[in-house]
Amino acid sequence: MKVSIIRDRGQLTIPDSIRRVVSWITPMSAVSISVIKPDEIVIKPHQKQVNWDQVWENIRKSRAISGRGNLSAADFLEQDRRSH
């Protein structure tokens, strides 16, 4: 266990010995901080939430137009991005 001090603006410096062991702790990396108990917090690497419904809907849309017209997938994407 290492001891660190929380500064006036809530800043916490993670000691070098911990940063060397944990590869995901890098400058400007996003973290999630959770309160486990009133006297305990956990810091984890932030992971984006994936909206799987939207992903599958986009896959269905792209499959629906395959074979229609003479558009390649790249042309379709370009046309779709310009339309928004």
State the residue for tokens 């809530």.
Answer: 10
CA 58 to each of CA 7, 12, 20, 37, 41: distance values in angstroms, whole numbers, following the listed order: 46, 41, 40, 41, 38
pLDDT given for residue 12 in this prediction: 92
What is the rounded distance in angstroms from the CA atom of residue 48 to the CA atom of residue 56? 17
d(CA 20, CA 46): 19
d(CA 38, CA 52): 34
Instruction: Please tell me the pTM assigned to this model.
Output: 0.51
pLDDT digits (tens, 9 = 90+) for 4-21: 999 999 999 999 999 999
Query: What domains can be seen in the chain, in order of their start residue?
Result: 1-47 (2.10.260), 52-82 (no CATH)
- Output the pLDDT for position 22: 92
